[in-house]
Amino acid sequence: MDRYAVVGNPIAQSKSPLIHSAFAEATSQSLSYERIESPLGQFAATVDAFRRAGGSGINVTAPFKLDAFAYATERSERAREAGAVNAMKFDGDRIIAENFDGVGLVRDVVVNLNCSLKGKRILMLGAGGATRGALAPIVAERPAVIVVANRTVQTARDVVAPYAATRVVACGLDELGAEQFDVVFNATSASLTAQLPAVSERVFAANAFAYELAYGKGLTPFLQLAQRAGVTRLADGVGMLAEQAAEAFLWWRGVRPNTAAVIERLTVPLM
């Protein structure tokens, strides 16, 4: 039976085994999928051992997405654009790396949630790995503008630098001013500790859409802010999680699973 795993630290919280087992059952694929907690600084040794034991591929989660980028022998364009890796497959000595976080996010927003990004004014809060992965797929949807606002402004500037020819701009959270946005993504990790990024409720335009990348946290402080601003279209990252997993599954197994059942099973109501 082909073996897959998700590698991170910590890893007990990961929903990936549940998701991939459900996908395998629904598509009649014979595979196993486990959690592996790698010691910090030991990503390469951990994955070497998994490959020696016959592993076919892995998902990679925090804090190893950059280690996975360095470990790969081949990187897709998406992985290179993101500078980070969230899925790998092994073929003899070849270690092939991908990043499906951004395509997963865009597919959830555009297809599942029926929110076109074309011509929209987009605010991306945060400039970490998730934003790096999301920018190229969002740019491909041809929004009017993307503003990447980060607590540490230099990080936002570094993240937007490859997009100098397009309408992607960087600023500090404290520099947002009076501009309003049609779609606001919270790609900071503030919600993981129930914190609110320092942003005003004035950033939401009328009929705005607010998307929290964290999942399973219910109504986070960011979503509460959006609600106070009158935003009615709210979502969290459960669909992004399921869609990036489906992309990895397709890449590994050649069949794309339907995500609806998994999304329904993992959804925590936004209340």
Name which position in 27, 76, 189, 267 contacts ligand NDP (CB under 6 A).
189
Q: Say whether residue 147 binds ligand NDP (CB under 6 A).
A: no
State the nearest-atom distance from the C-beta of 92 to ligand NDP, in Å.
Answer: 29
152 binds ligand NDP (CB under 6 A): yes
The span from the CA of 159 to the CA of 176, in Å, is: 17
Residues recognised as catalytic: 65
Burial of 179 (0-12, 13-18, 19+ CB in 10 A): middle
Question: Burial level of 2, CB count in 10 A (0-12/13-18/19+)?
Answer: middle
Closest approach of Cβ 173 to ligand NDP, in Å? 6
127 binds ligand NDP (CB under 6 A): yes
102 binds ligand NDP (CB under 6 A): no
| Beta strands across the sheet bearing 145-150 | 168-172, 145-150, 121-125, 181-186, 204-212, 233-236
Distance of CA 270 to the CA centre of its chain: 19
* Residue 126 binds to ligand NDP (criterion: CB under 6 A): yes
* Footprint on residues 15-74 left by ligand NDP (CB under 6 A): 62
Under the binding rule (CB under 6 A), the answer on residue 7 touching ligand NDP is no
Distance CA 209, CA 118 (A): 14
Angle between helices 16-27 and 238-253 (to 10 degrees): 50
Distance (Å, whole) CA 71 – CA 136: 22
Nearer to ligand NDP, 51 or 252 (CB): 252
Q: Among candidates 208, 211, 213, which has minimal Cα distance to 231?
A: 208
- Nearer to ligand NDP by C-beta: 114 or 193? 193
**In terms of CB distance, is 151 or 157 closer to ligand NDP?**
151
Question: Which residue has the CB atom at the shortest distance from ligand NDP?
Answer: 128
Binding site for ligand NDP (CB under 6 A): 62, 101, 126-131, 150-152, 155, 187-192, 195, 197, 213-215, 237, 240-241, 244
